């Protein structure tokens, strides 16, 4: 049986590929380097990783990327995970560009819900921020996800000073009127955001966003858990949805962190904030389940107590880490 660890790990984020059809200015370089296909984990390998993770207590899995809906046959991966792994919650984080056409199939395959990243409701700004994205496609995708029951739909927004900091109230109205959950995620010193200086220039703390929202909305703390994640939630009088804040910088929640990550090339990362990981791919390819188990045990044992982002940013891109 797996070694005991002080940390209770329940949640695994799996990046299914490093390709993305958007190049959000804070996430991805204008000309990203991609790994050769042979270095990316196959579906069988991903299923094997999740099966081993479940021996360690993982019951919730999120597929991410890159853009997970660009991975060929992603619906089949959802089916395989459903058939072969005992999961309470199987979700996916997407930029939403392909969601309209894929939502129904994903739901049918067994996906529970989606998180959609959306940083602006202004078409031109959205296009600039994502370097080419079509806002309309994403909005249709979000509506479609809700219509087929990929719920609760969560919308993830990163507010950046001088980029989209005037849009927080409008995003709240958009999401909460539709019964969605909007989460403001603080910009983190990871990858591209560090390299291009946005992190220093454009960081906006959750406290500032809350203060801004309080001018228009009465925010009432919500005690109900929402997916067991790190966000603190609020209700807004008169609107059905909720708004949450993920305060990785202004109020870190590392002590409660219950997650591990696997990159697209099969590196097990104990923590988003450190560049070190344990490669799983070779062990997976030689069918060595014990070695994969040992890696999980080591990752859980070695999970750092907290980030040190004020001293050392993360070099690996968020597009590789899966957010």
Number of residues that bind ligand SAM (CB under 6 A): 21
The number of beta carbons lying within 10 Å of the beta carbon of residue 268 is 22
158 binds ligand SAM (CB under 6 A): yes
Select from 16, 19, 23, 26 the one that contacts ligand SAM (CB under 6 A). 26
Question: Which residues are CB-neighbours of 31 under 8 A, at least 6 positions away?
Answer: none
**Phi, psi angles (nearest 5°) of residue 295:** -65, -45
Instruction: Compare residues 56 and 274 and give the one whose CB is closer to ligand SAM.
Output: 274
Does residue 9 bind ligand SAM (CB under 6 A)? Answer: no
Report which of 93, 97, 86, 134 is spatially closest to residue 114, judged by C-alpha positions. Answer: 93
**Cα gap 175→161, rounded to integer Å:** 21
Q: Where are the alpha helices (DSSP H) in 188-288?
A: 192-195, 198-202, 206-214, 281-285
Q: Are 61 and 46 in contact (CB under 8 A)?
A: no
CB of 179 to ligand SAM, least distance (A): 20
Q: What's the closest the beta carbon of residue 84 comes to ligand SAM, in angstroms?
A: 24
User: Phi and psi dihedrals of 75, rounded to 5?
Assistant: -60, -40
Residues 225 to 244: which contact ligand SAM by CB under 6 A? none
Q: In angstroms, what is the minimal distance from the CB of 20 to ligand SAM?
A: 5
**Interacting residue with ligand SAM among 13, 71, 95, 129 (CB under 6 A):** 95
Site for ligand SAM in 58-87 (CB under 6 A): 64-65, 67
Beta strand 242-246 with 181-185 is parallel
Contacts (CB under 6 A) with ligand SAM, residues 105-124: 117
Residues with Cβ within 8 Å of residue 227, at least 6 apart in sequence: 60, 89, 91, 154
Options 4-12, 76-84, 187-195, 218-226: segment touching ligand SAM (CB under 6 A): 187-195
Does 193 help bind ligand SAM (rule: CB under 6 A)? yes
Residue 80 or 188 with smaller CB distance to ligand SAM: 188
- Return residues touching ligand SAM (CB under 6 A): 20, 26-27, 64-65, 67, 93-95, 117, 156, 158, 185, 187-188, 190, 193, 318-319, 322-323
């Amino acid at each position: 049986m797996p070694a005991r660890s002080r940390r209770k790990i329940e949640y695994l984020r799996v990046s299914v590929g490093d390709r993305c059809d958007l190049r959000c200015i804070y996430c991805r370089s204008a000309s990203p380097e991609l790994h050769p296909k042979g270095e990316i984990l196959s579906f069988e390998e991903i299923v094997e990783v999740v099966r081993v993770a479940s021996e360690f207590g993982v019951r919730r899995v999120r597929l991410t990327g890159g853009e997970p809906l660009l991975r060929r046959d992603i619906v089949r991966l959802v089916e395989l995970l459903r058939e072969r792994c005992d999961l309470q919650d199987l979700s996916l984080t997407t930029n939403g560009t392909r969601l309209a056409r894929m939502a129904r199939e994903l739901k049918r395959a067994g996906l529970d819900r989606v998180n959609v990243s959306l940083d602006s409701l202004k078409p031109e700004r959205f296009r600039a921020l994502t370097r080419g994205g079509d806002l309309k496609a994403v909005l249709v995708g979000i509506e479609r996800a809700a219509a087929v029951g990929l719920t609760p739909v969560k919308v993830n927004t990163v507010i950046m000073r001088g980029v989209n900091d005037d849009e927080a109230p409008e995003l709240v109205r958009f999401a909460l009127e539709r019964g969605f959950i909007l989460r403001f995620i603080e910009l983190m010193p990871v990858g591209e955001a560090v390299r291009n200086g946005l992190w220093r220039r454009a960081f906006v703390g959750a406290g500032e966003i809350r203060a801004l929202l309080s001018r228009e909305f009465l925010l009432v703390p919500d005690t109900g858990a929402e997916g067991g994640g790190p966000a603190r939630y609020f209700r807004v009088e008169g609107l059905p949805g909720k708004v949450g804040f993920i305060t990785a910088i202004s109020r870190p929640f590392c002590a409660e962190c219950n997650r591990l990550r696997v990159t697209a090339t099969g590196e097990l990362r104990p923590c988003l904030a450190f560049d070190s990981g344990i490669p799983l791919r070779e062990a997976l390819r030689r069918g060595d389940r014990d070695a994969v188990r040992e890696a999980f045990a080591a990752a859980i044992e070695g999970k750092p107590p907290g980030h040190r982002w004020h001293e050392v940013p993360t070099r690996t891109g968020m597009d590789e880490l899966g957010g």
